[in-house]
Amino acid sequence: MLLLFGMVVAVGAQGNDSSGLRIGFSQVGSESDWRTAFTEITLAEAERREITLLFSNAENSQEAQIEAIRSFIEQKVDAIILAPVIETGWTAILLEVQAAGIPIVIIDRNVTADESLYLTRVSSDFVFEGRLAAAWLVQVTSGDCKIVELEGTVGSSAARDRQIGFNQVISLFPKMQIIVSQTGDFRRTLGQEVMDSILHTEDPSKICAVWSHNDDMAIGAIEAIKQAGLDPGQDILIVSVDAIPDIFKAMMDGDANATVELSPYMAGPAFDAITAYLNGETVPKWIPVTGGIYFPDTAAEEYARRQH
């Protein structure tokens, strides 16, 4: 069954070793299509396993996440899953979770806390995602490109690590330069607003590419580029991260060039880790999920496959 903001909803499912567990899940929010898909997949996986999931949407508030975790502790859940808004400021609440004897899994983004305070982390390698995006851009531009960077939420591990990985690669090529870097908070509307502002302050003819920390901001940037009378995907290249259906639609329309996949299928490994721990098994401190890079030549196929 699912417990959503205090309302219990009974669901049918296939039983397995996770059946009967009560798990609290504190989600970042719903700032992007990827995040929404991640939530939907997690809820569906809990239903399939007959897990009672206590779900809390923090709407990008760390304070709301801490409050939700304290509520999970009070309700004596079997385990907690945390997708943290930002990296810092978690030690105190993780100590409370540890004192209550409840295993907690960090999912998607990271925390800067001692590893002994959480069971494991299930995530992508954000640094690798940035490197992959940069390697593609270097190749298609022959190492000569002036870049606009749309950053994700300030203080989040996804934004920081993707930036680190991207910069590691382009630093090897003197003519690869980020000329503007501004945050769009992983939001489509802000991506459009930021890109519109940049196109009014910079010479658009000097911009070779937009490097966006997620697809939603990239899609917003595409709209701003169109409104400026330019051709996204041609006049300005677009590379981003997530691989949501809308970015494949943009590729089909010729408006985007590449996306690095961030898999939203993290709930299964997280539930498996919790079950293994409760069964007395050893759990690794990091459980990676992987994804590739996609281009327009397979966009139609991927768009059809990812509809849900």
Same fold flag, 2-123+263-289 and 126-262: yes
Distances (CA, A) of 262 to 67, 97, 123, 214: 28, 28, 9, 9
Q: How does pLDDT run along the chain (308 residues), one tens digit per residue?
A: 444 433 333 333 333 467 799 999 999 999 899 999 999 999 999 999 999 999 999 999 999 999 999 999 999 999 999 999 999 999 999 999 999 999 999 999 999 999 999 999 999 999 999 999 999 999 999 999 999 999 999 999 999 999 999 999 999 999 999 999 999 999 999 999 999 999 999 999 999 999 999 999 999 999 999 999 999 999 999 999 999 999 999 999 999 999 999 999 999 999 999 999 999 999 999 999 988 999 999 999 999 998 75
**CA quadruple 51, 56, 57, 62: dihedral, nearest 10:** -130
Which token pair is 37? Answer: 């898909």
Report pLDDT for 308. 56
- In this structure, which CATH number among 3.40.50.150, 3.30.70.100, 3.40.50.1820, 3.40.50.2300 belongs to the domain 2-123+263-289? 3.40.50.2300
**The pLDDT value given to residue 9:** 32
Domain boundaries, the chain: 2-123+263-289, 126-262
**pTM of the model as a whole:** 0.84
Instruction: Give the model's pLDDT for residue 307.
Output: 74
Largest CA distance in the chain: 61
Name residue, tokens 């760390």.
Answer: 62
What would be the CATH architecture of the domain defined by 126-262? 3-Layer(aba) Sandwich (3.40)
